[in-house]
């Protein structure tokens, strides 16, 4: 896959994420894979900024997301879900930012039956395809500087992942949340992935994004 390394810069601030119990997603526009097949990453109120980074330093970068915002990732699609080995990122909320449950997050769209077509999920268990909500609140650990590190694929002790069919996958002694997600959708392929905040007032920063071997830490 031809994915460029990206670094996002963001403004420093305290991290305040909402409850992981209730997912409250606003009815707003969002990116779609067909819109970015031949173009640049589809974004809205999201851009790389310099001076805010988990790595520190005046030249560090992160993705700044303000109020309703999204940032999509091109070319990371069509691989088997079972072949995905790494999805992780660090999140920071600016001072006075209020995040409701589920915002910000990665939204991972799955072609659940691997037939090469994505049918928008409605939330019914009978849906053909699935949205997976990768939320740092139930799958993240606070670290220095107010950042929260979320290792969605590798966290073995403190991670819960939800999906649009009502699936809840929690890391425990029997396996990671991610492994349980993969077991639930053995034929699934990745359709599309994007960052989104749709229940936030204020600004969040996202840094150290890793999608398998692609490391997003600066503006492409």
Per-10-residue mean pLDDT of the chain, 220 residues long, equals 30 39 51 76 90 91 95 92 98 96 95 94 89 97 96 97 96 97 98 95 96 88
Domain assignment of residue 90, yes or no: yes
What's the pLDDT score for residue 165?
93
Residue 196's CB: how many other CB atoms inside 10 A? 26
Domain assignment of residue 37, yes or no: yes
Residue 101: domain span: 33-216
How many angstroms separate the Cα of 27 from the Cα of each of 24, 87, 185? 10, 26, 26
Look at the chain and report how many structural domains it folds into: 1
Domain assignment of residue 120, yes or no: yes
What's the pLDDT score for residue 134?
98
What's the pLDDT score for residue 9?
28
What's the pLDDT score for residue 148?
97
What's the pLDDT score for residue 28?
57
What's the pLDDT score for residue 172?
97
C-beta separation of 192 from 33 below 8 A:
yes
Domain assignment of residue 117, yes or no: yes
What's the pLDDT score for residue 123?
84
Q: Say what the pTM is.
A: 0.85
Domain assignment of residue 4, yes or no: no
**CATH number reported for the structural domain that contains residue 122 in this entry:** 2.60.120
Domain assignment of residue 2, yes or no: no
What's the pLDDT score for residue 39?
63
Please name which of 83, 71, 89 lies closest in space to residue 110, comparing C-alpha atoms.
83
What's the pLDDT score for residue 41?
67
C-beta separation of 52 from 10 below 8 A:
yes
Domain assignment of residue 101, yes or no: yes
> Cα separation of 74 and 39, whole Å?
9
């Amino acid at each position: 896959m031809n994915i460029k390394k990206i670094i996002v810069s963001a403004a420093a601030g305290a991290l305040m994420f909402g409850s992981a119990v209730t997912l409250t997603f606003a009815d707003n526009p969002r990116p779609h894979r067909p819109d970015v097949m031949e173009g640049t990453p589809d974004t809205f109120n999201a851009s790389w900024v310099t001076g805010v980074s988990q790595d520190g330093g005046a030249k560090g970068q992160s993705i700044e997301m303000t109020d309703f915002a999204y940032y999509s990732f091109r070319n990371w699609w069509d691989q088997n879900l079972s072949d995905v080995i790494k999805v992780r990122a660090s999140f920071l909320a600016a001072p006075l930012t209020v995040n409701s449950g589920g915002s910000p997050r990665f939204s991972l769209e799955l072609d659940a039956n691997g037939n090469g077509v994505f049918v928008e999920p409605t939330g019914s268990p009978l849906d053909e395809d699935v949205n997976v909500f990768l939320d740092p609140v139930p799958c993240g650990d606070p670290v220095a500087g107010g950042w929260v590190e979320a290792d969605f694929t590798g966290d073995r002790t403190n991670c819960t992942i939800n999906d649009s069919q009502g699936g809840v996958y929690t890391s425990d002694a029997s396996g990671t949340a991610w492994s349980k997600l993969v077991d639930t959708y053995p034929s699934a392929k990745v359709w599309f992935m994007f960052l989104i905040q749709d229940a936030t007032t204020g600004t969040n920063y996202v840094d150290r994004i890793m999608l398998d071997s692609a490391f997003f830490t600066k503006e492409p």
